[in-house]
Chains A and B, each alone.
Chain A
Amino acid sequence: MSSENFLNQIISPWMRQEGPDSDIVMSTRIRFARNIDGVPFPTAFTKEDNNRIIQQFGSKFANQALSGIGNFELVKMDSLKPEEKQVLVEKHLISPNLAYQNELGAALISVNEEVSIMINEEDHLRIQCLYPGLQLKEALEVANNIDNWIENEITYAFHEKIGYLTSCPSNVGTGLRASIMLHLPGIVSTGQAERILQFIHKMGLVVRGVYGEGSQSTGNIFQISNQMTLGKSESAIIEDLERVVQQILLYERQTREASLENTRIQLEDNVFRSLGTLQNARKITSNEAAFCLSQVRVAIDLGVIKDIPRNIFNELIVAIQPGCLQRFAGKTLSPEERDVFRASLIRGRLKH
């Protein structure tokens, strides 16, 4: 299969759309943690509880259409191969926790892959909406609609004083986690990233790598989300996050423009070398690929490279992960083989 056809097939449709501030913001995610009234949380429930919840949930919501979202499909964890789970993790449709903890759990995933409802991860339900670019309000509204849609059928565990109850007290109250995925090569190049991220942390926000808790930042990509879920309304939580993100955007754009103005030749030299690597390498590690892709992406944003579409970066950063690569190859790959397939996938995509 050609790289382009493969990517068309594997990449979520929303990922190829542009959203507001798409030059820096890769995606917006809103997540609600919810539990069903009267049933122990997945941290303490029985296998029978698990099966009953999935069954009940599947029969109510699978193959149902929600206006604006479309249909949902139920995927049970015990019916997926490890490679298939890995692809869902790499596409951010399920968490590593749900994929690897045990055989329990399931996910209701919308056909357009904008919405994923994880069932029996740490909580009975984790409702998640994914959008391109910076669209906190829009994503919150959609997540709210889905939440209401479900709550019409199911009574949630709710406490009159502390709100929605979750197995971890870090999610109690609104159950809302809003995350923004940012590409910050400018800030990283100034050597100030560490200081800025520490400051963000002090503002009550959490900074992580691409694949969640504990993951390393690759390709200058950072995920920023709210830490506190209680004591503020949902809209106040996203407004506070948005304010910080806007400030980061401003600073990132300034540093990008400054480097274009002050060190244009150096920048062009770096960028075209990276592009050369991506177009010609016969094997490439995921770290090197992420580094080169990041450079090329910022050059596209700055207009230094004009003939390559911008969303290629978003697509490839997902597609060069092990799970997706093995899907591309159609077989299990050793790390060395992955480097070869990775190089060939990228080469194929950058060729016109």
Chain B
Amino acid sequence: MLCQFCQENQATVHIKKTINGSKQELILCENCAADQGHLNGFTDPFSFHQFVFGILGGENQHIQRPTVLECPTCHLTMQGFKETGKFGCQNCYRIFESQLPGILKNFQGGNYTHQGKDSNRREKVLKHQTDEHKNIAEIASKTGSVVGELARLKDELQTCIKQEKFEKAAELRDVIHEFEKRLKEANENV
């Protein structure tokens, strides 16, 4: 089942709570649950998995929390966005793309496709962005996809650990390290 919030990751967290007297059930992925403050620390009931994850996940912080998405350009996190309701730069729209439907639904109702003016502008924007000056937008979209992929891989790693597929988990760990390296480089270049 897919996460009800981002509609992208596998849902692994089941939350039941009562809001204004009515019962609500949420089925979320680990990332969204953490972003929304539903997780306090690592909630995996099997401490063995926690132990394994600690080894295979490499760095200690992974025991605490799947990595929080941060915009490499302006350093905004989802938490920061939730406090102000405002993005810090255009790159945020790529980095937090998976959460946009939920955000836009609050502000814009149902339709998320721009219908207004742009006609000859799209071409102009693309042309402008190619070679003239340093291509921030392209790097942004690249890092955007890296960050998204990274989150997905971490999800997969966790699933593998839970299912005790340790060899596959070890492979994933290496891939994740490679991704993290690339993301760090991209951050430094922006």
Q: What total of chain A residues lie within 8 Å of the partner, measured CB to CB? A: 40
Kindly list chain B residues whose C-beta atoms are within 8 Å of the C-beta of A233: 115-117
Is the C-beta of A168 less than 8 angstroms from some C-beta in chain B? yes
Which residues of B have CB within 8 Å of A147?
Answer: 117
Interface pair B116/A172, CB less than 8 Å apart: no
Residue among A157, A161, A167, A230 making CB contact with B108, cutoff 8 Å: A230
The CA-CA distance from A1 to B104 in the complex, in Å, is 52
Cross-interface CB contact of A230 among B76, B85, B111, B117, cutoff 8 Å: B111
* Contact between chains at B109 and A40 (CB < 8 Å): no
Are B113 and A161 interface neighbours, CB within 8 A? Answer: yes
* Stretch of B19-27, B29-37, B88-96, B165-173 lying at the A interface: B88-96
Q: Which residues of A contact B84 (CB under 8 A)?
A: 43
Residues in chain B near residue A38, CB distance under 8 A: 90, 133, 136-137
Residues of B within 8 A of A84 (CB): none
Q: Which residue of A lies closest to B132 (CB)?
A: A155
Task: Kindly provide the distance from the CB of B160 to the nearest chain A CB, expressed in whole angstroms.
Answer: 33
Residue in contact with A228 in the complex, picked from B76, B88, B93, B109, CB distance below 8 Å: B109
For B87, list chain A residues within 8 Å (CB).
41, 43, 165, 167-169
Query: Which one of A41, A151, A176 contacts B88 once the chains associate, using CB atoms below 8 Å?
Result: A41
Chain A: minimal CB distance from B157 (Å): 30
Q: How far is the CA of A309 from the CA of B137 in the complex (A)?
A: 55
Query: Does A179 have its Cβ within 8 Å of any Cβ on chain B?
Result: no
Q: Which of A105-136 contact B (CB under 8 A)?
A: 122
Query: CB-CB < 8 A to B82: which residues of A?
Result: none
CB distance from A123 to the nearest CB of B (A): 10
Q: Is A6 an interface residue (CB 8 A)?
A: no
Is B108 touching A229 in the complex (CB atoms < 8 A)? Answer: yes
User: In the bound complex, how far is the Cα of B112 from the Cα of A229, in angstroms?
Assistant: 10
Q: Considering the complex, give the chain A residue whose CB is closest to the CB of B140.
A: A38
Q: Is A48 an interface residue when CB atoms closer than 8 A count as contact?
A: no
Contacting residue for B117 out of A37, A167, A174, CB 8 A: A174
Asked whether A44 lies within 8 Å of B107 as measured between CB atoms, the reply is: no
Q: Are B116 and A173 in contact (CB under 8 A)?
A: yes
B103 CB-CB contact with A under 8 Å:
yes
CB A145 to nearest CB in B, in angstroms, measures: 12
Q: CB-CB < 8 A to B184: which residues of A?
A: none
Residues of A that sit less than 8 Å from B by CB: 35, 37-41, 43-44, 122, 144, 147, 151, 155-165, 167-170, 172-174, 176, 204, 228-234, 236
Q: List 5 A-B contacts (CB under 8 A).
A: A170-B85, A230-B104, A231-B109, A231-B115, A234-B116
Query: What 17 additional pairs, Cβ within 8 angstroms, besides A231-B115, A233-B116?
Result: A39-B89, A155-B128, A156-B121, A158-B121, A161-B113, A161-B114, A165-B87, A165-B90, A167-B86, A168-B85, A168-B86, A169-B103, A170-B85, A172-B107, A229-B108, A232-B111, A233-B117
Q: Which residues of B contact A (CB under 8 A)?
A: 73-76, 84-90, 93, 100, 103-104, 107-118, 121-122, 124-125, 128-129, 133, 136-137
